[in-house]
Chains A and B, each alone.
Chain A
């Protein structure tokens, strides 16, 4: 046990798939992450941690298994769980690239992170691989896309450099006329070696790195990182610091949701709606700057607390400005909802059914838009949300019922995700107001962590609900307790990317930008 983490040591790796299924079926566990770490020198072999998020309880189940080097030169291997739990596929591909471990029986053994021009046998997260290694480019391999055959089927390759101001990724559409019959995504163009780099940074420096995992989720990711270190040390930041964290996290949610809604309006061909909403995003970003000294809220978090604070005056200013933004937001929304040309584009487009969403383990807005009831702030209450979220949703019987009806209505299409975001802009604004009006009087903003608090190889999960969904970080400290041995990050984008391949099916190519935007996936947060 480690707080809300239940550690199960599995003696034989071959038992893991069976136990995974029991956890999924018996505890309603959702596979939340598979973290691998190279502990050959420090413990024994490679360690695999299958982390499950238990539905309806504040519990994570961690299945720990160890593998030693394979027999005589063959790489170490472990049984795949991908055929039982489809969302495991991507983790297993990632582990194969980064550690060179083979998942036996995996349905998709293709490389993921390291593109074809990397020499075979490159495994950056193994301890013997130096961070600065520069490897030659090889040109003899080719990535195998799924080929769709048949009369009239053609392919459209898009990217990695896109037409808009967005991040890089490659999309391979197979189309029949206008209709998409298959889409395959190829990502990892923005792979910057975040996890490996963290192993060379101090604990404090890694906070800044975590902010830059995905620039627009700086607060969420750094909160998750800081929480895992705080959990290892058994230290809790002062209440006021937790409140400041929550306020900044909600401000982040608002400016990003407003920005996404603006882009949706633009992609639906309604420039006026875009202009009005983009203006509100700019106002929010200026407010961010006043609060944190950065338009993207960089520099809010530190281990054990925060770097920024609110005075009476600045609290009032934030509440007032966000109130004004919200008032204008509602006006624009009235307009958008009465434009049939916009609503027609959103409605019924890019549908993700509830069953598929559950199967893929979707998170955040993408999941809630399909009717899944998940929100890390409520399911695994952390920081200031411990007292906020349970009240907000489960106060009365009637509210619970209303919440369930709301979820049941969610159609899983672009419109449903649009409405989910709208609702969150409102609820986040209210939450900010509520927290700022009840700021704790304590002036200390950080709890110091004593040298001996961080034991060698201590490890813990940290998590937060970003505007995209749950971001889950697992940190293991180094031998001295002052460095990082392993930093595993799984953002909501990693979990949600597969949704897009499903959402576009049977829609037309022209709806792709709209669907893509409605899911609001981060490439950087996925590629690391």
Chain B
């Protein structure tokens, strides 16, 4: 364990011996985030963050892509005359395609990057090596975010999170932004209780039919200029739930979306990246 841990241990014991209260027993009032949790991008080597289509598969080798297309639970792989295309907005990063056709599909541990148009999530077979992941720590992304927010808004950025029919996986990751590791408030971003106080709507889920109306009203209640960030495969496209009687096949079918964050669920770093794009979209109309 780290030095800090062992340093903690000692006073706890002493306090217990002396039978005194916790105030000088457990760290006092001093909190220190474990910085090792933030070093590097830290995604584990087996993390399934993105899927790429390696370039060295012959386009004529359609059989491999076909296998992927058949097995994909969210219909993210489509075969066209131009070869295979992968819709990262639909991909749930399950890695099934890699299991059946490892030569044609490869999962990598850098996360899929957020984009501003739905079209940008469609990728064809890669002509060259895959795009490099952002390779920055949450701290670095956050620092850029914080500068941008200060310059554009002159105050902090307010977010309202709306669950529009998610499996709650995305909620777990959005709440993780509040934990001491990511601690999003230090970048001047905070979650607010009402859409009336928000600059950004962070929407997760399939935009279920039962929630459609509430989502539309939440959007209307948010003052201009406002930005909508669709978080996760479900919000981008319906994900594995698709477009059915109960869903609407993506948040953009209900309200205009400015930023799409792919992933199932997107990790907190990806959310920070999405917010970085979102801040730029608030830009023009905001007071300087």
Binds B, one of A10-18, A86-94, A271-279, A502-510: A271-279
Binds A, one of B60-68, B150-158, B174-182, B278-286: B174-182
- B42 x A286 contact (CB < 8 A): yes
- A282 x B37 contact (CB < 8 A): yes
Report A-chain residues with C-beta under 8 Å of the C-beta of B241: 192-194, 197, 212
B12 CB within 8 Å of chain A: yes
Binds A, one of B44-52, B76-84, B117-125, B126-134: B44-52
- A168 x B95 contact (CB < 8 A): no
Known A-B contacts A131-B245, A132-B244; the reply to A275 vs B179 at CB < 8 A is: yes
- A124 x B210 contact (CB < 8 A): no
- B168 x A209 contact (CB < 8 A): no
Report B-chain residues with C-beta under 8 Å of the C-beta of A331: 8, 12, 26
Whole-angstrom distance between the alpha carbons of A337 and B231 in the complex? 37
Residue of B nearest to A218 (CB): B169
Binds B, one of A289-297, A383-391, A417-425, A471-479: A289-297
Report B-chain residues with C-beta under 8 Å of the C-beta of A293: 44, 46-48, 95, 107
- B165 x A191 contact (CB < 8 A): yes
- A163 x B179 contact (CB < 8 A): no
Query: What's the nearest-Cβ distance from chain B to residue A164, in Å?
Result: 8
What are 8 A-B pairs at a CB distance below 8 A?
A161-B215, A191-B165, A192-B247, A205-B96, A275-B180, A276-B31, A281-B179, A335-B26
A396 CB within 8 Å of chain B: no
Q: Besides the contacts A132-B243, A283-B37, what 10 more A-B pairs have beta carbons closer than 8 Å? A: A194-B241, A196-B246, A215-B166, A215-B169, A276-B31, A282-B37, A282-B176, A285-B172, A292-B46, A293-B107
- A278 x B180 contact (CB < 8 A): yes
Known A-B contacts A289-B44, A334-B22; the reply to A167 vs B180 at CB < 8 A is: no
Q: Which 6 A-B pairs have the closest CB atoms?
A: A215-B169, A193-B246, A163-B193, A278-B179, A205-B73, A215-B167
Report A-chain residues with C-beta under 8 Å of the C-beta of B181: 279, 282
Whole-angstrom distance between the alpha carbons of A522 and B169 in the complex? 11
Whole-angstrom distance between the alpha carbons of A294 and B169 in the complex? 11
Report B-chain residues with C-beta under 8 Å of the C-beta of A37: none
- A215 x B170 contact (CB < 8 A): yes
Query: What's the nearest-Cβ distance from chain B to residue A295, in Å?
Result: 6
Whole-angstrom distance between the alpha carbons of A282 and B12 in the complex? 23
Interchain CB contact (< 8 A) of B166 among A163, A167, A290: A167
Q: Most B CB atoms within 10 A — which of A132, A190, A298?
A: A190
Whole-angstrom distance between the alpha carbons of A292 and B206 in the complex? 25
Whole-angstrom distance between the alpha carbons of A202 and B72 in the complex? 10
Report B-chain residues with C-beta under 8 Å of the C-beta of A523: 163, 168
Whole-angstrom distance between the alpha carbons of A124 and B33 in the complex? 50
Interface residues in B170-216 (C-beta closer than 8 Å to A):
170-176, 178-181, 191, 193-195, 205-206, 208-211, 213-215
Whole-angstrom distance between the alpha carbons of A528 and B193 in the complex? 26
Residue of A nearest to B16 (CB): A334
User: What is B's interface to A at a CB cutoff of 8 Å?
Assistant: 1, 5, 8, 12, 21-22, 25-26, 29, 31, 33-34, 37, 42-44, 46-48, 71, 73, 92-96, 107, 161-176, 178-181, 191, 193-195, 205-206, 208-211, 213-215, 218, 239-247, 264-265, 267
Query: What's the nearest-Cβ distance from chain A to residue B91, in Å?
Result: 12
- A168 x B173 contact (CB < 8 A): no
Contact with B along A183-208 (1 / 0, CB 8 A): 00000111111101100011011001
Report A-chain residues with C-beta under 8 Å of the C-beta of B165: 168, 189-192, 524
Report B-chain residues with C-beta under 8 Å of the C-beta of A189: 165, 208, 210-211, 214
Report A-chain residues with C-beta under 8 Å of the C-beta of B218: 161
Report A-chain residues with C-beta under 8 Å of the C-beta of B178: 165, 278
Q: Most B CB atoms within 10 A — which of A202, A208, A283?
A: A208
Query: What's the nearest-Cβ distance from chain B to residue A129, in Å?
Result: 7
Report A-chain residues with C-beta under 8 Å of the C-beta of B265: 215, 295-296
- B21 x A338 contact (CB < 8 A): yes
Whole-angstrom distance between the alpha carbons of A293 and B51 in the complex? 13
